[in-house]
């Protein structure tokens, strides 16, 4: 549905741009194409927008999207080149988005000091990008902590997929050994493997099969689809934590049912409420100062690594409270 709405909106922007040669229409079209994963189409729209733009603010908006596209493509050198071009436009220092976008590129290049400097510039500007800058800065701090304890390439990822979580569980956490082979479900055969149909081409196929047999709720299959590339949400991470603690220590999966939620954005009736409370009360997941726990927010690679390493420490203890 979102993709259909995006395509429909893209058609509107396209007609507007063709009719009026309007830079803002090309910017809108580029954003839609980015959302759809059509980076080539977005680049074409941006080039046209830059050509027709007359206002400095429009040019900076367009260059910011160009930097974001190159980040998504992994072309950090090109992102750097576009940032230099944007900086040549008067008023660029007060344009928070170009600094935020370039900070993400610096993180990909593991140039953390430069990323932090740009994020601080962005935070000093009164703009709509303050929250994004704050979130990236927080993630940068998580990345620095994560790389101090692991060499995993996942530490730098802004999201982490189900197949990557499976790999972390098997390779970093060694969950099979921690909770015991006896508690894993028996396989019905490698070819069908209990109905899995979309895992065979994954580079993490062994980890997917191993984790799938644990019966973790976050790793469940629907209609034979493991969906290895789907990104994990925080509530799904909480469910994973609770299931592992339940298998290892018989931690209750109903302990908090009937209690009031301490979070503004997670009702006690939510199916993931007990799991989130289990994770929070053990210091594995934290809310923010506003009282939100962000259950549907996608988990970053660094957050996943840090949480699972903390979970690993708990699993190494002889017992844990229920």
pLDDT above 80: residue 191: no
Q: What is the rounded CA–CA span in Å between residue 185 and residue 191?
A: 16
Q: What is the rounded CA–CA span in Å between residue 158 and residue 47?
A: 27
Radius of gyration of the CA atoms of the chain, in A: 22
pLDDT above 50: residue 85: yes
Position 50 confidence tier, pLDDT thresholds 50, 70, 90: very high
pLDDT per residue as tens digits for the range 204-218: 999 998 888 888 888
Tokens of 309: 């390493």
pLDDT per residue as tens digits for the range 97-137: 999 999 999 998 989 999 999 999 999 999 999 999 998 99
pLDDT per residue as tens digits for the range 8-23: 444 544 555 455 577 8
Query: In the predicted model, what is the mean pLDDT of the chain?
Result: 87
Residues 6+ apart with CB under 8 A from 61: 27, 95, 97
Residue closest to 17 by CA, chosen among 66, 72, 62: 62
Q: Greater confidence, 183 or 241?
A: 241
Q: What is the per-residue pLDDT for 215?
A: 82
Q: What is the per-residue pLDDT for 182?
A: 42
User: DSSP of 154-176, one letter per residue?
Assistant: GGG-SS-BHHHHHHIIIIIS-HH
- DSSP character for 185? P
CA 240 to chain centre: 17
Residue closest to 284 by CA, chosen among 233, 242, 251: 242
% pLDDT > 90, the chain: 61
Q: What is the rounded CA–CA span in Å between residue 265 and residue 89?
A: 41
Q: What is the per-residue pLDDT for 188?
A: 43
Q: What is the rounded CA–CA span in Å between residue 30 and residue 94?
A: 23
């Amino acid at each position: 549905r979102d993709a259909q709405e995006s395509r429909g909106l893209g058609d509107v922007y396209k007609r507007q741009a063709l009719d009026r040669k309007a830079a803002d229409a090309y910017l809108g079209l580029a954003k839609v194409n980015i959302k759809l994963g059509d980076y080539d189409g977005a680049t074409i729209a941006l080039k046209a927008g830059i050509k027709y733009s007359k206002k400095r603010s429009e040019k900076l908006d367009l260059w910011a999207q160009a930097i974001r596209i190159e980040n998504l493509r992994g072309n950090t050198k090109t992102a750097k080149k576009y940032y230099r071009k944007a900086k040549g436009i008067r008023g660029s220092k007060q344009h928070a988005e170009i600094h935020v976008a370039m900070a993400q590129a610096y993180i990909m290049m593991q140039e953390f000091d430069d990323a932090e400097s740009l994020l601080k510039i962005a935070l000093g500007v009164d703009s709509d990008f303050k929250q994004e800058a704050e979130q990236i800065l927080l993630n940068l701090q998580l990345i620095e902590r994560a790389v101090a304890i692991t060499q995993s390439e996942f530490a730098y990822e802004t999201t982490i997929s189900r197949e990557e979580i499976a790999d972390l569980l098997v390779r970093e956490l060694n969950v099979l050994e921690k909770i015991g082979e006896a508690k894993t479900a028996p396989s019905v055969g490698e070819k069908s493997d209990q109905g899995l149909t979309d895992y065979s081409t994954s580079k993490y196929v062994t980890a997917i099969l191993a984790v799938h047999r644990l019966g973790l709720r976050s790793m469940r299959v629907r209609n034979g689809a493991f969906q290895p590339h789907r990104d994990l949400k925080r509530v799904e991470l909480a469910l994973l934590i609770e299931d592992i603690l339940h298998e290892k220590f018989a931690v209750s999966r109903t302990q908090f049912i009937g209690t009031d939620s301490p979070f503004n954005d997670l009702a006690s009736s939510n199916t993931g409420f007990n799991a989130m409370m289990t994770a929070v009360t053990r210091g594995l997941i934290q809310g923010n100062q506003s009282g939100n726990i962000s259950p549907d927010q996608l988990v970053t690679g660094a957050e996943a690594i840090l949480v699972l390493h903390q979970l690993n420490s708990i699993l190494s203890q002889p017992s844990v409270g229920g």
